[in-house]
Amino acid sequence: MARKPRIDQVGFYHVINRGVEKRDIYLDDKDRCRFLEIIDESAELFDFSIHSYCLMTNHYHLLLKTCKENLSLIMRQINSKYSIYFNRKINRVGPLWQGRFKSWFIYNEKYLAALIKYIELNPVKAQITKKAGEYRWAMSTRVENLECADFGLMDTIDFKLGMSDKETQNVEAVFGAMLEVKGRSVVNKVKKSLSEHFDKVRREVAVANAIKDGYTQVDIGKYLGLSNIAVSRIFKIYRARVCLFNNLRDIGVFWSYSKEIDYDQAGPELFVEYLLKYGHFDDIRLGFELFGKRLMKKVWQARVAGDYQFLRLNVMLAGVFFDMDVDGAYFNRVKNGRFEKFKALVS
């Protein structure tokens, strides 16, 4: 399943990134100073301002405001420059960050105060300090001279009261929002109903799309009359099928189709056919785990077993995977279903 595209509009974003394997990304104050220097250098290039930040041991939070549609460029610059610095410092190789950064577009500015509190109170939540304004590497401390820092919003906030229930709800609203771009505006995305998701769509695809749309596995299970464990298994197998399909597509197995074809478009039977014909042995074995012997045999008999150019392959599949003690002569007697249909059409 394709990863969710980012919102990339002018405005406020809450950004988080973590060290790979939850490793520390700052080993001392010098590292944190260098990270903030990189933010300032990047702000000069890409024109953004920082309204809150907190540098913890293995992750960071930023609340920034862009003036152009360039969030991805900004974060690529910050993360790559710091990664190069850090790796050189400790003589390591490999990625520093745990995947791509996470970002949330602040579609309603009434949530900004709650987000600033949430970010600045991170050290309090981690029991590093007792109140906001005491942790050097949070913006509310006002110790580090960050030229791109804008304290306008920060100055309106009273940190003494901590997070209220309403402010916690506001933060959760930002993190849980499903957004889409309409014209030049970012709006809350309207969910499809579960009945719409499952109308004339394969169940595994509908489950994946419903989860992407924000439904929980419990919600989907109740709709389908399944346990959330069963839904979880459907989704897990679906993702594994998509992963295998993409791997085979990228090495050219689906050569006669568009390079952009995906698993949802191909469907299980076409996928299994090409997997049996052109997949490596280990891929075929994985296919049996993901699709089951019944479907694999059904597709094999209908689409592969009668194809004479795959005679040796069919002997191997029959013996290894279908427990059949047959030789090439057996397949010479098997009619090619597609060929017979074609012959009937032209006769």
Q: Is the pLDDT of residue 340 over 60?
A: no
For the segment 76-116, what is each residue's pLDDT rounded down to a tens digit? 999 999 999 999 999 999 999 988 899 998 888 888 999 99
How many beta carbons lie within 10 A of that of residue 332, not counting itself? 9
CA torsion through residues 57, 63, 66, 70, sign: positive
pLDDT of 172 reads 86
Mark whether 176 and 256 lie in a shared domain.
no
DSSP string, 43-106: HHHH-EEEEEEEE-SSEEEEEEEESSS-HHHHHHHHHHHHHHHHHHHHT--S--BSSSPEEEE-
CATH number of the domain that 57 lies in? 3.30.70.1290
Same structural domain for residues 172 and 36?
A: yes
Instruction: Indicate whether 169 and 273 sit together in one domain.
Output: no
Residues 20 and 110 in one domain: yes
34/153 same-domain check = yes
Instruction: Average the pLDDT over 246-264 and give the result.
Output: 92
pLDDT category, 1, cuts 50, 70, 90?
Answer: very low
Quote the CA–CA distance of 178 and 192 in Å, as a whole number.
Answer: 12
Structure-token pair, residue 140: 């509310």
- Does a structural domain hold residue 271? yes
- Amino acid 53: pLDDT: 97
Question: Are residues 50 and 170 both part of a single domain?
Answer: yes
* Domain presence at residue 158: yes
Residues 27 and 156 in one domain: yes
CA dist., res. 312 & res. 9, Å (int): 56
Short-list 29, 288, 297, 265, CA closest to 141: 29
- Give the integer Cα–Cα distance in Å for 111 and 236: 34
Position 275 in a domain: yes
Which amino acid, 35? Answer: F
What pLDDT, on the 0 to 100 scale, is given for residue 328? 82
Q: Please report whether residue 1 resides in a domain.
A: no
173 or 216: which leads in pLDDT: 216
What pLDDT is attached to residue 191? 74
For residues 59 and 171, state if they share a domain: yes
* Structure confidence at residue 344 (pLDDT): 57
Cα 209 from chain centroid?
13
Residue 27 sits in the same domain as residue 144: yes
**pLDDT for 264-286, tens place per residue?**
999 999 999 999 999 999 999 99
pLDDT band at 34 (very low <50, low <70, confident <90, very high): very high
Residues 171, 252, single domain; the answer is no
The arithmetic mean of pLDDT across residues 55-71, rounded, is 95
Burial class (CB in 10 A: 0-12, 13-18, 19+), 236: exposed
- Assess if residue 142 is contained within a domain: yes
If one counts the domains in the chain, the total is 2
Task: For the chain, list the strands marked E by DSSP.
Answer: 11-18, 48-55, 59-66, 102-105, 179-182, 185-188
The CA distance from 173 to 118, in Å, is 13
Confidence label for 331 from pLDDT (cuts 50, 70 and 90): confident
The yes-or-no verdict on residue 261 having pLDDT over 50 is: yes
Q: Is residue 217 part of a domain?
A: no
149 located within any domain: yes
> What confidence tier does 180 reach under pLDDT thresholds 50, 70, 90?
low
| CA–CA separation, 54 and 200 (whole Å) | 47
pLDDT, averaged across the chain: 89
For residue 343, is pLDDT > 90?
no
Give residue 121's pLDDT: 94
Are 165 and 248 contained in the same domain? no
pTM recorded for the entire structure:
0.61
Q: Provide the pLDDT confidence category of residue 17 given band limits of 50, 70 and 90.
A: very high
Q: Could you list the residue range(s) of the whole structural domain that residue 241 is in?
A: 233-304
CB atoms within 10 A of CB 162: 13
Q: Is residue 218 part of a domain?
A: no
The pLDDT confidence band at residue 207, using thresholds 50, 70 and 90, is very high
pLDDT for residue 259: 86
Tell me how crowded residue 134 is: count the other CB atoms within 10 A of its CB.
13
Distance CA 88, CA 80 (A): 12
Question: What pLDDT, on the 0 to 100 scale, is given for residue 269?
Answer: 96
Q: Is 5 exposed, middle or buried (0-12, 13-18, 19+ CB in 10 A)?
A: exposed
pLDDT tens per residue, range 114-156: 999 999 999 999 999 999 989 999 999 998 889 999 999 999 9
Considering the domain architecture, whether residues 176 and 274 belong to the same structural domain is answered as no
Band of residue 208 on the pLDDT scale cut at 50, 70, 90 = very high
What SS3 class is residue 220? helix
